[in-house]
Chain A
């Protein structure tokens, strides 16, 4: 199973972009890259996922390196509501087993 590495914590100012990195050097060719976030006292919520190409949705963008060994979740304008723990997850292809690590705790400063 591919292992992911994320910084323990990051800080951002409100209204500025945030780039959350994830390293997954052992990724296999068919592993999807998923991002979830967990707000305080809530269950995790889906943010975005991708395979090879960069992806955009209303919440965020996902930039995937050409060799797929790393990816970056981009929040274009951080708000206070984006303060959460962000998890990068690679379920092994052919399974639906999502293993969460410790994630990156994002603090947004007003």
Chain B
């Protein structure tokens, strides 16, 4: 079946611009996660949703970052006034959200801020 889909796969933007990154989770998965990964580092937790609500957004670095999941399926990560330090691979994962259900990751969106 279809896995987690992230679009775009690559995004280049200028410093100060606004970007949106999209994640389509596996159908029926109630939990959705956003991570970002810099070169040579492990994925850094940003936020996770259980259904439509953000269950834990403690990893969002500052108020320029915001994520939504209005219908409990597709999610969008929004970054305002991008900075060069925001350049990274942004990963999305989904899970059935029950007990120790495994996370299924997409291949990420590579964001480059010039």
A residues in contact (CB < 8 Å) with B: 32, 34, 36, 38, 41-46, 49, 51, 85, 87, 95-103
Residues of B within 8 A of A41 (CB): 107
B residues in contact (CB < 8 Å) with A: 4, 31, 33, 35, 41-45, 48, 50, 55-56, 91, 93, 95, 97, 100, 102-108
Given contacts A34-B102, A46-B102, 15 further A-B pairs with CB under 8 A are A34-B100, A43-B91, A43-B106, A44-B91, A44-B103, A44-B105, A46-B104, A51-B100, A95-B56, A96-B48, A97-B45, A98-B33, A98-B103, A102-B41, A103-B42
Q: How far is the CA of A103 from the CA of B42 in the complex (A)?
A: 7
CB–CB B102/A49 < 8 A: yes
Q: Classify the interface of chain A: helix, strand, loop or mixed.
A: loop
Most buried by B among A41, A85, A98: A98
CB–CB B100/A101 < 8 A: no
CB–CB A101/B102 < 8 A: no
Find the A residue at minimum CB distance from B95: A96
CB–CB A96/B55 < 8 A: yes
Q: Which of A42, A96, A100, A103 contacts B35 (CB 8 A)?
A: A100
